[in-house]
Amino acid sequence: MFTLFHHPFSHQSRFIRLAAAEYGIPTEYVVERPWERRDGFMLMNPAGTLPVAVENDGPALIGALPIMEYLDETRGFVAGDKRLMPNHPDARAEVRRLVEWFSAKFDAEAVGYLVHEKLYKLEIPRDQGGGEPDSSILRVARANMRNHLKYIGYLAATRDWLAGPRMSFADLAAAAALSCADYLGEVPWDADESARSWYSRVKSRPSFRPLLMEKVLAMPPAPVYADLDF
């Protein structure tokens, strides 16, 4: 059994959930709140970060990129034209570059702040940093969101998919990040039609349905979140 320790609104976790679904991997999901620093979780990952995966009795796989590589090495080679990693080394390097961009840079400049300020702070105790969102942080994150959306739009307008002619891990990483911000109503879709059209294609895939069904108590999703024809 493939087990994923995740938080429903950790976009790096959502990325792996999408990849596992695309590869048809039966997965057990365990919700983890990393700020709680649960002993069992910290033993698996002393860094206390998400996602973490374990398959059967194997070692803990820590981080979205190492888990992505594991899935490609254990499932990709038999996936045929549904493989999420290209065969050519140059194309593989581009997929990895974009996955790193969306998992790290996009997180550090926009999505991570939006989710932390507007959602995680509702769950984190006040003595650990929870509370009201910081408007100055949100203002910067929103400005950065527009810049990243333009970059996604540029990629979508000049390629069939973000990294090339076929859907890849790059598309899933970007869509996972956007989905978290979209739930919060923090994606200015009117700013880039190419990005919006590309996201609609990814959002319409069966692998995306479980994400669109998730909700936060006392915080309903933005009106377009689950709308496939937004």
Domain 2-82 identical in fold to domain 89-213: no
Give the architecture (CATH level 2) of 89-213.
Up-down Bundle (1.20)
pLDDT digits (tens, 9 = 90+) for 80-107: 999 999 999 999 999 999 999 999 999 9
- 11 contacts 107 by C-beta, under 8 angstroms: yes
One-letter amino acid for residue 10 of the chain? S
User: What pLDDT, on the 0 to 100 scale, is given for residue 20?
Assistant: 98
DSSP state of 53: E
pLDDT digits (tens, 9 = 90+) for 129-156: 899 999 999 999 999 999 999 999 999 9
Predicted confidence band of residue 72 (pLDDT cuts 50, 70, 90): very high
Give the residue extent of every domain in the chain.
2-82, 89-213
Q: CA 162 to CA 149: how far, in whole Å?
A: 12
Coil, strand, or helix at residue 140? helix
User: What pLDDT, on the 0 to 100 scale, is given for residue 230?
Assistant: 81
Q: Which CATH number fits domain 2-82: 1.10.569.10, 3.40.1160.10, 3.40.50.12640, 3.40.30.10?
A: 3.40.30.10
Structure tokens given for 7: 């938080």
Terminal CA-to-CA distance of the chain, rounded, Å?
Answer: 36
Closest CA to 25 of 69, 60, 64, 75: 75
Q: CA 123 to CA 190: how far, in whole Å?
A: 31
Tracing tokens 């919006």 back to the chain, one arrives at: 196
Over range 184-196, report the average pLDDT: 97
pLDDT, averaged across the chain? 96
- The structure's pTM equals 0.96
